Amino acid sequence: MNDREKEIIRTVIDGDSEAFSELVHAHQARVRLACLVRLGHLEEANDAAQEVFVKAFKALGQFKGDAAFLTWILRIADNHCRDLLRTRSRRRTESLDALLAEKGDAFEGLLSRSGSLDDSRAYTPQDLELLGRLFAALPEEDRDILALREVEEMSYEDIAEKLHCSLDAVKGRLKRARQTLTDKCGKFFQTMTPPP
């Protein structure tokens, strides 16, 4: 964690709640993307991201600084989205093949652009909605492992610890999830780095 973030956190804990807005501004795009990948719809992701920052603000006194603030808040986002998914009324999910058939032209436009998944500011709201729908159409296991690695940028070791599995299992699951996307979406996801 950088010195500026430490200073902001101390300032907020000391009673200057306005200073928290700097942390929100610095990390809102990544938190929103993490929520979008989990929830699949931009409006829900925007609402969830706001709720995540409220939770983080309320829990800031418990933040120990052992990890980066971004790592901490992305874990809050992950847990919050999991809670939302558990309590959400059952909703019909799209099949990946049907989504690609319906929105193939839109994906074609995304394929031709540069940009990375970790910077949601590089995408329009329509692009983000499409990405969310794509991730929502994936099997939950694939969506989870990709979110942990590609959005939250967790190490393979940390993913293994979080999922209570071996490092080889993490690499295998990532390989299968990436292959699903590669098979279906082609070069759009070729920017993802394969496991070592």
The whole-number pLDDT of residue 193 equals: 42
Q: Are residues 50 and 147 both part of a single domain? A: no
Q: Are residues 196 and 104 both part of a single domain? A: yes
Angstrom distance (rounded) from CA 31 to CA 130:
17
CATH of the domain at 169: 1.10.10.10
The residue range of the domain holding 176 is 95-196
Q: Are residues 101 and 191 both part of a single domain? A: yes
The whole-number pLDDT of residue 146 equals: 87
State the total domains in the chain: 2
The whole-number pLDDT of residue 169 equals: 94
The whole-number pLDDT of residue 96 equals: 60
The whole-number pLDDT of residue 97 equals: 63
Q: Are residues 177 and 150 both part of a single domain? A: yes
Q: Are residues 79 and 104 both part of a single domain? A: no
The whole-number pLDDT of residue 191 equals: 39
Name the token pair of 107: 């994906």
Residues of the chain with pLDDT under 50: 111, 114-115, 118, 187-196
Residue 57 near residue 29 (C-beta atoms within 8 A): no
Q: Are residues 155 and 190 both part of a single domain? A: yes
The whole-number pLDDT of residue 190 equals: 41
